[in-house]
């Protein structure tokens, strides 16, 4: 899918523009490098969990950016290059399907966040995180629905979502039959039908409960060992 001119915003999201209130407050308090952080792919059955990080400029604005969940795929794709060129620094970190299985989703999300921040190229002073759970560490500000109200987090959400979507479209070519090009590894009727017919692909998260529902499956559900050497779901 190629990028192009950003389409006119739909009326339903036109008035839902993220702002700079949180970022400006932190800048005024002396935090020079404020990074917005957002996650995508935690609930998927296949593929990586991805975390985006974005540092936005103080003196240049951008328009039509919204929380990635509000945007259609073609809108996100059209915005991707525009956002990437506008931000001062950005990165997307991933934890693989295997790491999601081996470490569990919470730890895998921390791994992806650490990789994103390590690749950022600048040392941040504080991170704004979408949600009420700190998966970043250090100085952070947690905010429910930050991706809808903070421009840095909304930018990170677009960069992370588009990057992961592109990965899953490539995986759809390698592993046809699961409709990854459309569902991006999330649950859906075509995805479920593919699992029933083909079993799990190499990029499915084999510790998840859906493995128990696949008829006549020959591959057992993966069970993670806990630190004491026992197994748990």
d(CA 162, CA 167): 9
For residues 131 and 151, give the distance between their C-alpha atoms in angstroms, rounded to a whole number. Answer: 15
What would the pLDDT profile of 33-64 be if each residue is shown by its tens digit? 999 999 999 999 999 999 999 999 998 888 77
Q: Is the pLDDT of residue 225 over 90?
A: no
Read off the pTM.
Answer: 0.90
Q: Please say if the pLDDT value at position 4 is more than 50.
A: yes
Scan for tokens 């739909």, then name that residue: 10
Domain 11-171 - what CATH class?
alpha beta
C-alpha closest to that of 54 among 116, 138, 144: 116
Cβ neighbours of 224 (radius 10 Å)? 14
**Contact call for residues 55 and 174 (beta carbons, < 8 A):** no
Question: Going by DSSP bridges, is the β-strand pair 126-130/89-95 parallel, antiparallel, or unpaired?
Answer: unpaired
> How do residues 103-153 score in pLDDT, each as one tens digit?
999 999 999 999 999 999 999 999 999 899 999 999 999 999 998 889 999
Q: What is the mean pLDDT of the chain?
A: 89
Q: Which of 164, 160, 162 is nearest to 36 (CA)?
A: 160
pLDDT tens track for 12-32: 555 667 889 999 999 999 999
Per domain, the residue ranges of the chain are: 11-171, 175-221
Give residue 230's pLDDT: 38
pLDDT of 218: 66
Confidence of residue 6 (pLDDT cuts 50, 70, 90): low
Q: Which of 41, 55, 59 is nearest to 83 (CA)?
A: 55
DSSP sequence for 59-109: S----S---GGGS-HHHHHHHHHHHHHHSSEEEEEEE-HHHHHHH-HHHHH
pLDDT band at 232 (very low <50, low <70, confident <90, very high): very low
pLDDT, tens only, 58-93: 988 887 777 788 788 998 999 999 999 999 999 999
Q: What is the mean pLDDT of residues 187-212?
A: 94
Give the Cβ contact number of residue 188 at 10 Å. Answer: 15
């Amino acid at each position: 899918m190629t990028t192009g001119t950003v389409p006119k915003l739909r009326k339903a999201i036109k008035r839902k523009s993220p702002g700079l209130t949180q970022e400006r407050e932190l800048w005024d308090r002396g935090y020079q490098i404020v990074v917005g952080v957002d996650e995508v792919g935690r609930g998927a059955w296949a593929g990586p969990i991805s975390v985006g990080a974005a540092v936005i400029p103080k003196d240049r604005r951008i328009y039509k950016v919204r929380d990635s969940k509000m945007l259609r795929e073609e809108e996100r794709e059209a915005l991707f290059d525009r956002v990437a060129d506008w931000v001062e620094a950005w990165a997307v970190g991933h934890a693989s399907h295997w790491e999601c299985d081996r470490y569990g989703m919470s730890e895998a999300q921390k791994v992806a966040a650490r990789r994103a921040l390590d690749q950022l190229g600048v040392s941040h002073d504080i991170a704004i995180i979408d949600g009420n759970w700190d998966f970043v560490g250090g100085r952070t500000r947690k905010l429910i629905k930050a991706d809808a109200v903070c421009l840095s987090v909304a930018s990170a959400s677009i960069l992370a979502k588009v990057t992961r979507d592109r990965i899953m479209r490539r995986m759809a070519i390698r592993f046809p039959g699961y409709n990854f090009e459309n569902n991006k590894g999330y649950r859906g009727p075509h995805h479920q039908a593919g699992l029933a017919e083909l079993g799990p692909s190499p990029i499915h998260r084999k510790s998840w409960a859906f493995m128990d529902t696949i008829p006549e499956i020959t591959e057992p559900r993966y069970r993670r060992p806990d630190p004491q050497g026992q197994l748990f779901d």
